[in-house]
Amino acid sequence: FDVPFSRKTALVILNYTAKFGIKSSVKVEQIGEKEYKVIVPKFEVIGVELSKDNPYNLYDNHGELLSGTTEDVDTGKLVTNQLSSDKQAEYLDKFKSEIKESAINYYKTLFSSMDSEAKVTVEFSE
């Protein structure tokens, strides 16, 4: 049963590095002379690494008027929930356009460094 004014809250700031990208090989098709199509596989979360020095900061931790007997917020559980697979997929969706733009620039630069006249089209598997 829930006692009014007995809730505790905590605001945690995570310090981590997330890596998004591809785990399998791209396919390159030559579609004409000096014209190529690069097919990039589906983007995935490659890994998430908490900062070794300071994985998270407890920004705010407070309770309501009658929270003295209420159990403290489990900050470890909060951190784990924020790094769950669902949250990682959410972050991947949020940054997908930036990742695609980075991939396009990468493959165009790669091919133009080998042949300045090369034309590259980049397609993404979803």
CA distances from 88 to 13, 43, 74, 85 (A): 16, 12, 21, 5
Element at 47 (helix H, strand E): strand 44-50
Domain-located, residue 59: no
Domain-located, residue 84: yes
Domain-located, residue 9: no
Give the burial class of 40: count Cβ atoms within 10 A of its Cβ; 0-12 exposed, 13-18 middle, 19 or more buried.
buried
pLDDT per residue rounded down to tens, the chain (126 residues) = 666 666 766 677 777 777 888 989 999 999 999 999 999 999 988 877 777 887 766 666 555 555 455 555 555 555 656 667 777 888 888 989 999 999 999 999 999 999 999 999 999 997
Q: Quick check: 9 and 62 in contact, CB under 8 A?
A: yes
Domain-located, residue 7: no
Give me 67's structure tokens: 């929270």
- Nearest Cα residue to 15 out of 52, 42, 47: 52
Domain-located, residue 81: yes
Residues spanned by the domain of 34: 21-53+74-124
Residue with the two structure tokens 């890994």: 47
3 state DSSP class of 104 = helix
Name residue 47's beta-bridge partners.
19
Residue 34: phi and psi, rounded to 5, are 60, 25
